[in-house]
Each structure stands twice: as C-alpha cells, then as structure tokens.
A and B are shown apart, each in its own frame.
Chain A
Amino acid sequence: MDGTISINGMGIVCAIGGDRQAVLDSLLRKESGIGPMQYLPSRHRDIPVGEVKMSTGQMKRLLGIADDAQVSRTSVMGALAVREALAQAGLDAASLAGKRVALISGTTVGVMDVTEQVYGKTEEGVEVPQGNECGRSTEEIAAFSGLGGASCCTICTACSSALNAIMLGCEMLKNDEADLVVAGGSEPLSRYHLNGFNSLMILDRQRCRPFDDSREGLNLGEGAAFVVLEKDAPEGLAYIGGYANRCDAFHQTATSKDGDGAFLAMRDALKMAGIGPEKIGYINAHGTGTPDNDASESAAFRRVFGDTIPDMSSTKSYTGHTTSASGAVETVICVLAMQNGFVPASLGWSRMIPGGFAPTMGRTGVCLDYVMCNSFGFGGNDSSMILCRKRPAPAPVPLRDAAQVRLVARRSVCSDEELSALKEFLSPMETRRMGKIMKASLLSAFLALRDRGLSCPDAIVTATSRGMLECSTLFLEDIAANDEQLLKPTLFMQSTHNTIGSAIAIRTGCHGYNITYSQGDRSLEWAVRDAAMRLRTGEARNVLVCAFDETLSGGRTAQFAAESRIYTLEES
C-alpha cells in the first residue's frame, strides 16, 4: 500500500480516431485529422478544424440513445471515451458495485452546442438549457456509460480543465474520498467558441504550426478522453508521478512574457515527482500555435530545462486544440507513446522562433520513463503533469486531520447598493468591462480577505452552477444578430466559468492553485471539499472559496449573489 496512483484504463475520441488504436495508428503514420469543416453548422467554412469524423446522431446510435433525444455532443463523445476506458480496465456495473466511484469531467462548452441550436427559436414553456450548464453534460456522460451511480463533478478552467480533472481524481484517491475515479474531459466544437476564438483573432486559416516562426494561431479541435485512476493497484498502464496547477495571474487572455504560470506548474510538478528535469524523455507541450502561447511556453521551458530541452512536440498539430478536453486527450497520447516507445512528431514545423526551441519530428524505438504533459487555459490556469512508465518510488504525503479545517471569514454581496464599495479596491478603468456578477464576486473576495488580514490567498477555488450567464447570453445574441461576424471579443473573454477565479488571482497576485467547479447546486460543496484537501495536504495554509451565480431577465442580470469564504487549518 504505497499510495501510488495508476492509470488502468483509457478511452479517447478525437479527430485522429474514435478509439485508442486508431489514434495510435494516426500518430505513427504522422497523419493529421485537421481539415475542412464537415459537421459544425457555421458560416466560417474557411476555418480548418479537427472534427471527430462522426455526426452526433451516429455517436448516439453507437450508445443506443434514441434519435430524437436532445443530447449534447459533449455527452456522447464523453460517454464513448468513458466506455472504452472502463472496458480496458475490465470494469463493469458488477465490479463497481459497492465502490465509491467519481466521474470527473473537464468541459467549458458543456451543453452549449444544444443551447446555441435552440437559442431564440423555442416556444414558451419548452425547457431549454441556459448557457453551458457544464455539470449537466457530466451527468449525461455518467448515465450513457454505465456510471449511473457515480458521483459527478465538473471542472471548468477552460483549456486546462481535463488535466485539472485528472489531478483532482488523484487528490481524491490520496485523500480517501473515492475508491475509483474516472477522470478526463469532453469538448465538442461549437459555433459559440469558434466565433469566440475568431473574435480574439487567434485562429489560423491554414493548418496550425506550433512553435514555428510563421505560426498564426490555433485550429480548434474536438474530442473526449478519460482515464481510470486507482490507488495501490498491483499494476497500471502508467503511473502519475506528479502534478501542479498554478496561475499566471497576468491577464484574462494574454500570457506573461516569461511564462510565469507555466514555469511554476512545470517546476512544481517535477518537485512532486521527486525528479530533476533531465529525467524527462518527452514533453507534450501545450503548443497551441498562437504567437503568444508558443513564445511564453518556450520562455518557460528555458527557465525549467535550460538551453537544451528533451524531445518536445505539440500533438495539437494532429487533433487541433481540443480546448477543455486537451489535457486528457494528450495524457492518453503520452501513455500511448510510453507504451509503444515512440515520440509523436510535431507537424507543420519548419522555422525556429528566434530564441525558441525546435520541436521533434518524431522518433521510434525509444524508451520513455518519464513524460511531461502541459495544459494551459484562459485566465492563466496553467497545469503540468508528470507520467511514469514504471511504478515510482513511494512518496507519502502526511494528511492533516480533517477536523482542523476552519471557516474563518465569510462575506456575501447580492445587491446593487453594495457594489459601490468596490471603488475602495478598483478604479473605474479596471471595472469598466465587469458585469454585476464579476463585481459582486471580486468585492466579496476583497472583503473576506481583508477581514482575515490577507492581501493574497494561497489558493483560489470558485464554484458556479451556470457561470457567466449574462456574458454568454449576450455573446449568443451577438452571434445570432450579426450572423457570426464582427463579434465583441470583450463578451467572449469574460464568458468562461473560470473568469472570476482568474480575475481574483490577477487582482491579488495569487500564483497558487486555482480551480473552478460547476456541478449544479453541488458546486459549492465540491469547492469546499477541494479547499479542505488543499489544507490537509499542506499545499495551502489558507484557501479562498468564492461561489457565485446570477439569474437573467430579458438577457440581462436580474438577481445575483456572490459569497467568499476563507478556510484555514487550525494548528493543534
């Protein structure tokens, strides 16, 4: 019983294949899945994408779901990947009976693909989803993959969601909060985020060229991947060596020049794994192909590895950027690389970024003992994970007593009158883009921190059922009213669920752990549970938990409420 966490099953659906074998074959043949749009009903047919080569209807039929059932593409892709992972781990309903099973999924689109189809077209009285309702997609994945009894949890940290979901799975097993975890992520293409990324002008009109000097942006992809995680299993397909979730705390969409968040995540993941950077045989980079990411990730590589780095590639050149699912898609690719002794090539590269690094053109016949997988998200939610081919040496973490966790400050803000107090903390220039829910959340956080005499928390955990409902509705309206053209980037950049968590980090300078939960009315419960785990493992001495939600009337915020809490550990 050494506490080792192993990966015992994997499932994957993405642009280069509908299962593990197909994905492996495409990687070895160096065949990209990026091409012209076939399934997404968008007017932007000139933008290349990495689509799963099946319609939602075809996937529904594979899962035995009725044709007329209104089901998100997120849910069907996710269910296919979970099914494959469970089958590889040899698990079924009978073997799972009596076990505490958690299904943790990373997504940001959630059921938005359904919402955007019905937006503005429905009759009164017909129930339609509002915004993304991310937690709902995870519950559907559980129902369609035979995990009906699992405890569902959804992580929304934009493009690092799935890697953070896998990390949460590891933490739950270490903290004895679950017996078995299925963790990963699912993200379909949607008109919503295709137009959002387009408004940010970071979509390449050609195939993406990660780490190339001529790169002009990313290609969006879609997919789902899940892994079965267990503690103390006799053997696994691979083992989790270490991981870290850190925050760039710089800007909502831009990255710091020296890649502060990326550097901290890689450094601390290596520290947890107890190895030096020279042990890493392969880095699966975040490598989106945007000018910003690849430059700052390269700068961060130099800070961690020095002037020579291990074989490094971005497999987004095959799959496209599968956004919230990318951390899980790339974890599965890393394990396939370790199992089959090869390094995946970076496609599309020919010219070095001045002062950058050349990615690998692929190698076979290699032995990879340790690989690093990076996933960075909007708001600077940066995560890194170290995977090991062989069982790592045990590194037990002593847990503090759960009874020592204390709630020491609590502030809520839920009326217009209260919002004027935000002037004490932020200038009008700083608040000009903020909706009421953002203002209320920041104010409650500042007040709770001040009550406790803190200027910067060690970790930030946020919770929301429906996220930035006003912003996302305004952006949906913008898409519909302007036929997907000349849309407001300001609306999109503030519409992800982790916007508030990262805004608090930016304003307080918090580079520590930063995560966002969205699981209906259980969101806050998950956040508090996470705060307790941070405190018990000693990763944080204090944790800021901020829960927020809003309701709409006529597309604008009607009611809103935000509550911030500070948790600490009472020293015995």
Chain B
Amino acid sequence: MDELLYNLKLQIIDALNLEDMTPEDIDDDAPLFGDGLGLDSIDALELIVILDKHYGIKLASPAQGKEVFKSINCIADYIRKNRSK
C-alpha cells in the first residue's frame, strides 16, 4: 500500500477510534460517509484536524470537507496537491 494511504488510514483509525480496524479493512475508493464506512459530522471535524495537524492543510468549513472526504483516495489526492508539511 502507498505510504501516504497507509499513514492516512492509521491516523484516521486513531482519531476516529475505529478500534477493531486495520488499514487493510478500509477500501481506498469506498464512500466514507453514509452507506460506506458510516462516518458522521463529528468524524468530518476530526478529519479536518488530521489534515491540519499532519499535513498543514486548513479547511475553512465542514462544507468544504464534503468534497474532499468522499473516499480515502479523494483525501490522499487533496493532500498531495495541497500539503505544506
């Protein structure tokens, strides 16, 4: 697995308390919200913290996150294009 994807999944598992999951359990293209992994609005805020803390990316609002947080691959693409650390 791509190192960025792997680390990102570990960060998500930790921040979202997905205790019983491993990076392999999370599909790169599956939806994270709604019918996919089933995350909610609080998880979206935790993802915003991850982007800021680990990649130096600041999102202005949860609404902006909706586009970025569609899947693991979407987040990874956004990180590659916008990261400052």
Interface residue ranges, A against B (CB under 8 Å): 199-201, 216, 251-254, 291, 428-429, 432-433, 486-490, 493
Q: Could you say which residues of chain A place their CB within 8 Å of the CB of B52?
A: 486
Q: Could you say which residues of chain A place their CB within 8 Å of the CB of B48?
A: 201
For the complex, is B30 an interface residue (Cβ under 8 Å from A)?
no
Which of B1-9, B16-24, B76-84 participates in binding chain A? Answer: B16-24
With A and B bound together, what is the CA distance between A199 and B46 in angstroms?
9
Interface residue ranges, B against A (CB under 8 Å): 15-20, 38, 40-42, 45-46, 48-49, 52-53, 61-63
Q: Could you say which residues of chain A place their CB within 8 Å of the CB of B45?
A: 199-201, 489
Q: Could you say which residues of chain B place their CB within 8 Å of the CB of A433?
A: 17, 42
With A and B bound together, what is the CA distance between A252 and B42 in angstroms?
9
Total contacts A-B at CB 8 Å? 43
Distance to closest chain B CB from A233 (angstroms)? 46
Which one of B18, B19, B53, B61 contacts A201 once the chains associate, using CB atoms below 8 Å? B61
With A and B bound together, what is the CA distance between A428 and B38 in angstroms?
12
Q: Could you say which residues of chain B place their CB within 8 Å of the CB of A251?
A: 40-41
Which one of A216, A254, A428, A486 contacts B41 once the chains associate, using CB atoms below 8 Å? A254
Which one of B20, B42, B46, B63 contacts A428 once the chains associate, using CB atoms below 8 Å? B20
With A and B bound together, what is the CA distance between A200 and B45 in angstroms?
7
> What are 20 contact pairs spanning A and B, CB under 8 A?
A199-B49, A201-B45, A251-B40, A252-B42, A253-B42, A254-B40, A254-B41, A432-B16, A432-B17, A432-B19, A433-B17, A486-B53, A487-B49, A488-B15, A488-B46, A489-B45, A489-B46, A490-B16, A490-B42, A493-B42
With A and B bound together, what is the CA distance between A490 and B39 in angstroms?
13
Which one of A291, A429, A486, A489 contacts B42 once the chains associate, using CB atoms below 8 Å? A489
Given the interface pairs A428-B20, A432-B16, A432-B17, the reply to whether A488 lies near B49 with Cβ below 8 Å is yes
Chain A residue nearest in CB terms to B20: A428
Given the interface pairs A486-B52, A488-B49, the reply to whether A216 lies near B42 with Cβ below 8 Å is no
Chain A residue nearest in CB terms to B18: A432
Cβ-defined contact, B61 with A429, below 8 A = no
With A and B bound together, what is the CA distance between A541 and B63 in angstroms?
42
Chain B residue nearest in CB terms to A292: B41
Q: Could you say which residues of chain A place their CB within 8 Å of the CB of B15?
A: 488, 490
Distance to closest chain B CB from A19 (angstroms)? 38
Chain A residue nearest in CB terms to B53: A486
With A and B bound together, what is the CA distance between A490 and B52 in angstroms?
16
Q: Could you say which residues of chain A place their CB within 8 Å of the CB of B61?
A: 201, 216
Chain B residue nearest in CB terms to A199: B45
Q: Could you say which residues of chain B place their CB within 8 Å of the CB of A432?
A: 16-19
With A and B bound together, what is the CA distance between A365 and B19 in angstroms?
62
Given the interface pairs A201-B61, A201-B62, A216-B61, the reply to whether A490 lies near B41 with Cβ below 8 Å is no
